[in-house]
Amino acid sequence: MGRYLLRRLLQLIPVFIGTTFMIYALVWKVPGDPFAGKCGDRGCPDNFRALMTEKYQLDQSIWVQYASYMKNLFQGDFGITFSGRPINDIIATSYPNTLKLAVVALTIEAVIGLGAGVLTGLRRNGFMDNLVLVSTLFLIALPVFVIGFVLQWLFGVKWHIVNPTVSNEMRISELILPGFVLGSASMAYIARVARTSIAENRRADYVRTAIAKGLPMRRVVGVHLLRNSLIPVVTLLGTDLGALMGGAIITEGIFGINGIGRQVLRAIVTKESATVVSIVVVLVLVYLLMNLLVDLLYAALDPRIRYE
Amino acid sequence: MSDILVSEQSAPGFGGSGRPSGRLLEVEDLRVEFRTRDGVAKVINGVTYHVDAGETLAVLGESGSGKSVTAQTIMGILDTPPGFVTGGQVRFHGKDMLRMSAEERRRIRGEGIAMIFQDSLSALNPVFTVGFQIAEQFRVRRGMSRADAKKRAIEMLDQVKIPNAKGRFSNYPHQFSGGMRQRAMIAMSLALDPEVLIADEPTTALDVTVQAQIMDLLGELQRERRMGMILITHDLGVVADVADRIAVMYAGRIVEEANVYELYRKPAHPYTLGLLDSIPRMDEKGQELRTIKGLPPNLMNIPPGCPFNPRCPMAQPVCREKVPPLLQVGTSRASACHFAEELVNRD
Amino acid sequence: MSDPSAASLVSTPRPEQPTEFGAPTNAGLPENARKEKPRGLLGDAWRDLRRKPLFWISATFILVFVLMAAFPSLFTSGDPVNGALSRSRVEPSADAWFGYDVQGRDVYARTIYGARASIVVALLSVIGTLLIGGAMGIIAGYKGGWVDGLLSRIADIFFGLPFVLGAIVILTTFNGAGTDNNEWQIMGLVIMSLVVLSWPVVMRLMRSSVLATKEADYIVAARALGAGSGRIILKHLLPNCLAPLLVYGTIMVGSFIGAEATLSFLGIGLKTPVVSWGIMISEAQNYIRVSPFLLFFPAAFLVTAVLSFVMLGEAVREALDPKLR
């Protein structure tokens, strides 16, 4: 296990370096003037230029720049906005909100996706099955912002069931609709994966054994069938937490949630590329680490997997 | 419901609603078909056999002859769809299981009739420890505490001669060798002390030396517990030592039933004859291995008359017209051949 | 949602389950119980497809959308770009079926004209993705060794980037503030970022296809007969890998239409005066309470287009999958 972890971490390093280097180069090197479009419409103030040039050694070669950028990053310093606000601050205030939204989304997609998947996996070709298959196709095919707007309009504007936007308190009840929207595509994937997985395992020999042992149907399905079928689903859910936080940009924008994605949007609009990139790097990091975590989780769930 | 509860404590003798014949398990005129996209395959076409306490019935046949499907129907684990029971009875203590409620049938599984499967690797749940899967039955069916169930499970592992049973309790199926895994499977099936044990090709997936060990173990446990055992196999070599009676199946029918000695001495059906002839023999070294010519019939389109007639070396016109019923030949054997008498009486 | 290239869509289960009837192999059904059907894979697929209403519905819609993109004037005589402010946010009527937007422009005309940008971007991106990803996959799979290792690691880097995040970085750099790209340049940039972020999926698909067929006897035979690498790839490997690529490409067109709209919505994709469904939805979002029709029509077209391609892809995939028969 330890060796496996080490190997996975080692594999992560080139991907991480490649990704961050690419992002860094795109932001500070490719545009020509590193400060073009970094500071809104008025251009960058001189002290910001001086500070950044010193901090990231922008007058040096790209390799030196990248090295000093990474050095700062590993010290937990994500840089400052041109108005002088540390990006760490922005992340610290908005990240918990995004995390909260992502967790709500994950819960919703797990409950609904799994429920639909298990139900249709056990009873295929019925009305429910076709309904779920068609609706999952919709959820997968449609861009999140379309689903978001339509649901926001229906539930928030037309039927007045919920507030169209989320208040700063971030109550759980307010987060259900945005959470549903954010998790919609993954929900569909989970439903489909769970369905296939259940349907495949339903005829497995060990399920037959469990029935032959005279276990009640509840236990055959709930313990023997589910435990095996859930392995791919849990994997999917794990990978998703990282993806959800990266994907929250659109949902947060639609529902006015003060999360990290909203900060990215704001930075895009106010033209602060440095901020955009810093936050994106954080999100990519989370995403990569979550994938690693899922691999380890997989090992815990399936005793057959030996990581040597 | 109540009579089933009684049966949990003391084994034999509760009267069923059917004809009380004193038999432990009887299959009568069972018919099963598989409805597939390409048509209906008649997999079981009137199978009748029985097994009594303390007796071993071997069911012999090629793959596709319907021997496993019969067992699955008895256990109530037939895949439906595509499989459908279209007729017949399966009586346990005289009571037709096919007419029982799902709950009644469930209670018979495990402690009335238990089953051992061919491939222990896929038949055991890969994500639970072997111990859990045995102990589970004590916990769910007997309401034992976790600790008691574990103790009983270890005893079971001990009984099937798994060394270091205590340590093996918490191993996963893939950590067992094939033979050990089949022993664990046997331990699991015997946990609730069943009256009938169905062993579906229990040694097919194993090495030859291990096969003998497992068969010995099965025979020993069967005698100790006075269980009825149905041993499903396509391997004539396996049956001889263990079985009391043999039922030979072909195309979803029993074509011959006899005790082991008589069947080996003088088969009463040309198919059985062919099977016996195709066993490689030490005294005929260097000779070509004899086989039965042709293929088993397409079950969606079984030929009229005797299903074996296209492959039968002694087929006559009547064989292509009339299905031979399974009839008594002599005192204690039956054959479904128009010329059974001739076969038995030749020398 | 972060990855509209929807990798797992290809492996999701099919809507219908004819396998239900496939008897389990241990159930005692003899091999010869199944009927022989000596037909080719493509002939079989076409026979299957023809019977599917879903195929015909989605194909019809796609045809209509393609016509719309090619000849928008067939569908409308309205002006998609210029409007009169006096008609700002006028509700749908017999005159203007979909009403007028904030600038007083005919929403119907704009929706029709919007098809072009959306479909052109999606189609070109798909072609780019298939070409680059396909080429990389073939090279990696065929050459193996360090070439495979290197290409696979490069693919990992792009694969590790969630789609929206990657697109934001690329497009803020090239299409952000302080850039004055014309509409063709913007379109090119959007296409580029879609391709750059999606090719690894196609590469993996292709690579595994090539790896699976590379050692097949007929390839080995061709090599033994002295066929060159180029010939083997073109004549033998490519045709075998084409079917999954085709299916994936069709589904990808749908995904990319949605992705383009997402980028426009974020304000980093196409921009006015280009007309696209994403831009229209983005513009409508501020008026969602008062004039929901502004959102509804472009969204409905977008949804229909995306679904048509995705469903066509699914239908073709089902038909091509011999396992389902």
Q: Is B63 left (phi over 0), alpha (psi -120 to 50) or beta?
A: beta
The secondary structure element, H or E, covering residue C119 is helix C107-143
Per-residue exposure over B17-30, b if at least 16 CB sit within 10 Å of its own CB, e if not? ebeeeebbbbbbeb
How much is the pLDDT for A298? Answer: 76
Residue C20 touches chain A, beta carbons under 8 Å: yes
Does B320 score more than 90 pLDDT? Answer: no
* Per-residue pLDDT tens over the stretch C243-279: 778 888 888 898 898 888 888 888 888 877 788 888 8
By C-alpha distance, the chain C residue nearest B33 is C29
Examine residue B287 and state whether it is found in any structural domain, yes or no: no
pLDDT band of residue C153 (cuts 50, 70, 90) is confident
Residue A12 has what pLDDT? 78
- The neighbours of chain C, by the rule of 3 or more Cβ pairs under 8 Å, are A, B
Instruction: Select from B118, B90, B89, B235 the least CA-distant residue to B178.
Output: B118
Over residues B218-267, the pLDDT tens digits come to 888 888 888 889 999 887 777 777 888 899 998 888 888 888 888 888 88
In this structure, are B143 and B42 located in the same domain?
A: yes
- Could you tell me if residue B288 is inside a domain? no
Min Cα distance B47 → chain A (Å) is: 21
My answer on whether B175 and B276 are in the same domain is no
Q: What is the pLDDT of residues A224-252, one digit of tens each?
A: 888 888 888 888 888 787 778 777 888 88
- Tell me the average pLDDT across B118-125: 85
Unique residue bearing structure tokens 């409805």: B35
Q: Is C27 on the interface with B (CB under 8 A)?
A: yes
B123·A209 Cβ contact <8 A: yes
The percent of residues in chain C predicted with pLDDT above 90, rounded, is: 6
All residues of chain A having their beta carbon less than 8 Å from the beta carbon of residue C61 are none
Q: Are residues B118 and B213 in the same domain?
A: yes
Can you give the pLDDT at residue C130? 92
pLDDT at residue C125 greater than cutoff 90: yes
Average pLDDT, chain A: 81
* Cβ neighbour number for residue B278 with a 10 Å cutoff: 12
pLDDT at A71 over 80: yes
- Looking at the fold, whether B239 and B272 belong to one and the same domain comes out as no
CB contact under 8 A, B126 and A211: no
pLDDT-derived band at C191 (thresholds 50, 70, 90) equals very high
Where do the domains of chain C lie, and which CATH numbers do they carry? Answer: 41-80+96-324 (1.10.3720.10)
Tell me the CA distances in angstroms from A172 to A97, A102, A108, A113, C178, one per residue in order. 11, 12, 12, 19, 40
Same domain membership, residue B262 and residue B174: no
> Are B121 and B165 within one domain?
yes
Alpha-carbon gap: A1 to the closest alpha carbon of chain C (Å) = 23
Strand order in the sheet with B327-329: B113-116, B196-200, B228-233, B56-60, B245-250, B253-259, B333-335, B327-329
Which CATH number characterizes residue B134's domain?
3.40.50.300
Q: State the Cα–Cα distance between residues C262 and C4, nearest whole angstrom.
A: 10
B224 CB burial (10 A radius; 0-12, 13-18, 19+): exposed
- The pLDDT assigned to B331 comes to 77
β-partners of residue B196 are: B113, B228
Q: Are residues B161 and B109 in the same domain?
A: yes
Do B228 and B210 have their domain in common?
A: yes
Nearest to C29 among B34, B72, B118 (CB): B34
Residues of chain C found within 8 Å of residue B65, distances taken between Cβ atoms: 28
Q: In chain B, what residues touch C25 (CB-CB under 8 Å)?
A: none
Amino acid at C113: Y
Gap between the Cα atoms of A170 and A42, Å rounded = 34
Optimal mutation site among B100, B125, B129, interface A, most CBs of chain A within 10 A = B125
Domains of chain A: 95-258 (1.10.3720.10)
Asked whether A231 and A68 are in contact (CB, 8 A), the reply is no
Q: B313 and B195: one domain?
A: no
Weakest-pLDDT range from A33-42, A85-94, B255-264: A33-42
Judged by DSSP in three states, C281 sits in helix
At residue C226, what are phi and psi to the nearest 5 degrees?
Answer: 95, 15
Closest partner CB to A205 (pick from B117, B174, B188) = B117
A185 contacts in chain C (CB < 8 Å): 1
Confidence of residue A40 (pLDDT cuts 50, 70, 90): low
Q: Based on the domain organization, do B297 and B183 belong to the same domain? A: no
Quote the tokens at residue B301.
């389109």
Cα B81 to Cα B89: distance, rounded to the nearest angstrom: 19
What three-state secondary structure class fits C213? helix
Tallying the residues shown for chain A, one arrives at 308
Report the number of distinct structural domains present in chain B: 2
Please report residues of C whose CB lies closer than 8 A to that of B34: 23, 27, 29
Which residues lie closer than 8 Å to C131 by C-beta, 6 or more apart?
none
**A262 CB near a chain B CB, below 8 Å?**
no
Closest to B292 in 3D by CA, of B309, B308, B311: B311
B248 domain residue, yes or no: no
Residue A107's pLDDT band, with cuts at 50, 70 and 90, is very high
Beta bridge partners of B51: B25
User: Do B325 and B198 have their domain in common?
Assistant: no
CB-based contact, C131 to chain A, within 8 Å: no
Would B135 be classed as within a structural domain? yes
Give the strand pairing for B196-200 and B83-92: unpaired
On whether residue B178 sits in a domain, the answer given is: yes
Show which subunits contact B, needing at least 3 CB pairs below 8 angstroms: A, C
Neighbours of B112 (CB within 10 A): 23
In sequence order, what DSSP letters do the residues of B276-328 get, joined into one string? HHTS--GGGTTSPPP---S-PPPTTSPPSS-TTGGG-TT--GGGGT-PPP-EE
Answer for the pair A292, A9: CB distance below 8 angstroms, yes or no.
Answer: yes
Sign of the dihedral defined by the CA atoms of residues A207, A211, A217, A219, in that order: negative
Instruction: Determine the pLDDT at residue C129.
Output: 93
Out of B104-108, B113-117, C293-297, least confident range:
C293-297
Q: Which residues of A touch C281 (CB under 8 A)?
A: 145-146, 149
Distance CA A198, CA A301 (A): 16
Q: Which chain B residues are within 8 Å of C32, Cβ to Cβ?
A: 295, 298
Q: Is the pLDDT of residue A61 over 90?
A: no
| Interface probe, candidates C3, C151, C161, C165, chain A, greatest A C-beta count within 10 A | C165
Residue B288 scores a pLDDT above 70: no
Question: Which pLDDT tens digit goes with each residue over C213-252?
Answer: 777 777 777 777 777 777 777 777 777 777 778 888 888 8
User: Is A191 in the C-facing interface, judged by CB distances under 8 Å?
Assistant: no
Q: Taking the CB of residue C176, how many other CB atoms lie within 10 A of it?
A: 23
Same domain, B275 and B237: no
Residues of the domain holding B267: 253-280+293-345
* Tens of pLDDT, residues C275-303: 888 888 888 877 777 777 788 888 888 88
- CA-nearest of A8, A2, A26, A7 to A293 is A8
CB contact under 8 A, B36 and C23: yes
Of the partner residues C17, C156, C310, the one whose CB lies closest to the CB of residue A141: C310
Best mutation target, A206, A215, A234, to test chain B (most B CBs within 10 A): A206
- Give the other-Cβ count within 10 Å of A190's Cβ: 28
- Beta pairing, strands B56-60 & B245-250: parallel
- Å between A101 CA and nearest CA of chain C: 15
